Amino acid sequence: MVIVCAGEQVERQISACLSRVLRLCKRFGTPLVALGTATWLLAESGVLDDIACTIHWDKRAALAETFARLLVTDRLFVREAQLATCAGEFASFDLVMDLISEQLGKEIALAVCRHTTAGHWRSASDRQWTITGSQTITSKALADIIRIMEEHVEDPLPLRDIARCVGRSRRQIERLFARCVSSSPMRYYMTLRLSRAKRLIQQTDLPIVEIAVACGFASASHFSKCFRQVYGCNPSTCRG
């Protein structure tokens, strides 16, 4: 098995030699695992075409926009045939435990858990937490609503549609957000979209107008106005 690791500024870490090695691994059936941002390197090398994948949440939007052919998920890790991608950090432990359980059995995996003082490991179906801000979200109902918002950044949903999706009234959702995150639902939704836009500006070379559309804004001017209100500067000034 070849395990690929990467960190910050992963976009600058690809090379012709690395791409050739990764493609040879795939061609000859050598298991490949990408941890954290290393998924980007596999995507650059063309070994993830038509395969579901994941990456650390901070890079997920940039990966999806840069490589439109990819099926990018927010899961902790994804295993597809001889390829596995992982969000990195603690999710790396979850992936390793899944591999141990499959290869050596659940009892051995549980013994490893006990040895490492871990109570359990999470499954591949678990998702990354990407909550905007510093709040700790303990409400499953709120987490479900935020998940819907994250899935509809490019095509923002009105609150009535979100309410219908989760089987709650608009007023119930408003009270939930006020109590848990001290914000209205739609203000939180706007902050979430702008946060993704800021990451795309900083992590990609996409034109500002394309980023605006990708984050659900009908025009670049409206996007710039909203961006200034939250961050106090124009979108272009965030691009290093």
Classify burial at 49, counting beta carbons within 10 Å of its beta carbon; exposed 0-12, middle 13-18, buried 19 or more: exposed
Tokens of 225: 């106005």
Spatial distance between the Cα atoms of 239 and 228, rounded to a whole number of angstroms: 14
Domain extent listing, the chain: 2-115, 140-238
Q: How many CB atoms lie within 10 A of CB 168?
A: 17
Half-sphere exposure of residue 152: CA atoms within 13 angstroms, side-chain side: 16
Q: Residue 120 — very low, low, confident or very high, per pLDDT cuts 50/70/90? A: confident
Which pLDDT score, from 0 to 100, does residue 229 have? 94
Judged against a pLDDT cut of 80, whether residue 130 lies above it is answered with no
| 71: three-class secondary structure by DSSP | strand
Cβ–Cβ < 8 Å for 227, 199: no
pLDDT in tens, 218-237: 999 999 999 999 999 999 99
Architecture of domain 2-115: 3-Layer(aba) Sandwich (3.40)
Enter the pTM of the model: 0.79
Average pLDDT, the chain: 91
What's at 34, amino acid-wise?
Answer: A
Q: Residue 134 — very low, low, confident or very high, per pLDDT cuts 50/70/90? A: very low
What's at 30, amino acid-wise?
Answer: T
Q: Average pLDDT, stretch 96-123? A: 92
pLDDT in tens, 173-206: 999 999 988 999 999 999 999 999 999 999 999 9
Spatial distance between the Cα atoms of 8 and 40, rounded to a whole number of angstroms: 11
Spatial distance between the Cα atoms of 132 and 156, rounded to a whole number of angstroms: 16
Which pLDDT score, from 0 to 100, does residue 143 have? 87
Superfamily of domain 140-238: Homeodomain-like (1.10.10.60)
pLDDT in tens, 51-62: 899 999 999 999
pLDDT above 90: percentage of residues in the chain: 79
Q: Residue 161 — very low, low, confident or very high, per pLDDT cuts 50/70/90? A: very high
Q: Average pLDDT, stretch 110-128? A: 89
